[in-house]
Amino acid sequence: MKNLAKDITEIARYALREIVSSRRLPTPLVYESEFINAARKLKKDRVLKYLLEDEKKLEQKVEEVLAEAGGILSSLQLSLGMFEEENKENISSMNQSVASIKTFSEQSLDENVKKLVDEVVKLQASNQQLMDNLAETRQDLAEKEEKIHELETESQKDPLTQLLNRRGWNKYVEKEFERYKRYRRSFSVIMIDIDHFKRFNDFYGHTVGDAILRKFGALLTNSVRNVDTVFRYGGEEFTVLLPETRLEDAEIVAKRILDKINSTVFTYRKKNLELKVTASLGVADCKGKDSADAVLEAADQALYLSKNSGRNCVKTCLEIV
């Protein structure tokens, strides 16, 4: 345990030196990235074992498995549908043949033909049963595919606030960045952190803290357009994705959100509490960024600047020195 603590200390010092030498702000996202890089460079395998099993990779694995399962079910449904259509044609031909044979058998009264008719009728009934079974199987597959879709949706939702979570964020922002690269459609990001949130939990308890998070999430959702998406990124940190939005317009939205936060009283009736909550906001756009992560990092650095400027304010990536 002592050796592990020593390794972590060595990695932390190395990571901080790298951040300082590159003249970047030591925000949580930057530090997390440099800490992992330092662990690799220093070949601290024991520490890497834990770092490589991070939440993001686990989330991506879950999403891959869900997508693969959904694809398999879709393929099965398609194959069953093709088989069912082909079998319908066979049944139709068989019905015509049976009708013709019956007409012939009634005229000829040949016992062998009657036996043949009986066999064909039995085969026809068996084929129809197969069709019925196929229809039930397709229905069952459709229901399972729907359940997988629901599971995938639930895996991207934060159970407390009912907002999309970090997994949902990763999916949405990557899609938006791809749209920016292909069509040059701009977008912006607002990163929001509730000021001194730990004090609410410590002084009033986690039940009150959870109530604040729920109301805060609802406030954000009601403060943006229908095309914008609000996420609970983690803890008391939220993000807002603003498609078709330039930096100057996103800053206006952020200031409007801040005004709404400052004019809102967060009540908790069970304890007869009326609380004032403030937040710090960082804004960035996709212009000049080479990845979705770079957009988020710029917003995170702007948020860090907001915290260091006294909190309860808005800063943009243009203000980062």
Q: How far is CA 87 from the centre of its chain?
A: 41
- Told to judge if 236 belongs to the known catalytic residues of this protein, a careful annotator would answer yes
Q: Which residues pair with 274 in a beta bridge?
A: 267
Helices 206-221, 197-204: inter-axial angle, 10-degree rounding:
140
Q: Does the pLDDT at position 142 exceed 80?
A: no
Longest dimension (CA), the chain: 103
- Whole-angstrom distance, CA of residue 301 vs CA of residue 317: 7
| Distances in whole angstroms, Cα of residue 50 to Cα of each of 2, 8, 12, 235 | 16, 12, 15, 21
Q: What residue spans of 156-205 are helical by DSSP H?
A: 166-183, 197-204
For the question of whether the overall pTM of this predicted structure is more than 0.85, the answer is no
Which pLDDT tens digit goes with each residue over 271-286?
A: 899 999 999 999 999 9
Q: Does the pLDDT at position 189 exceed 70?
A: yes
pLDDT band at 109 (very low <50, low <70, confident <90, very high): very low
Catalytic hit among 34, 145, 176, 236? 236
Q: Does the pLDDT at position 17 exceed 60?
A: yes
Which pLDDT tens digit goes with each residue over 34-50?
A: 778 888 888 877 777 76
Is the sign of the CA dihedral 97, 103, 104, 108 positive or negative? Answer: positive
- Whole-angstrom distance, CA of residue 166 vs CA of residue 171: 9
Q: Does the pLDDT at position 105 exceed 80?
A: no
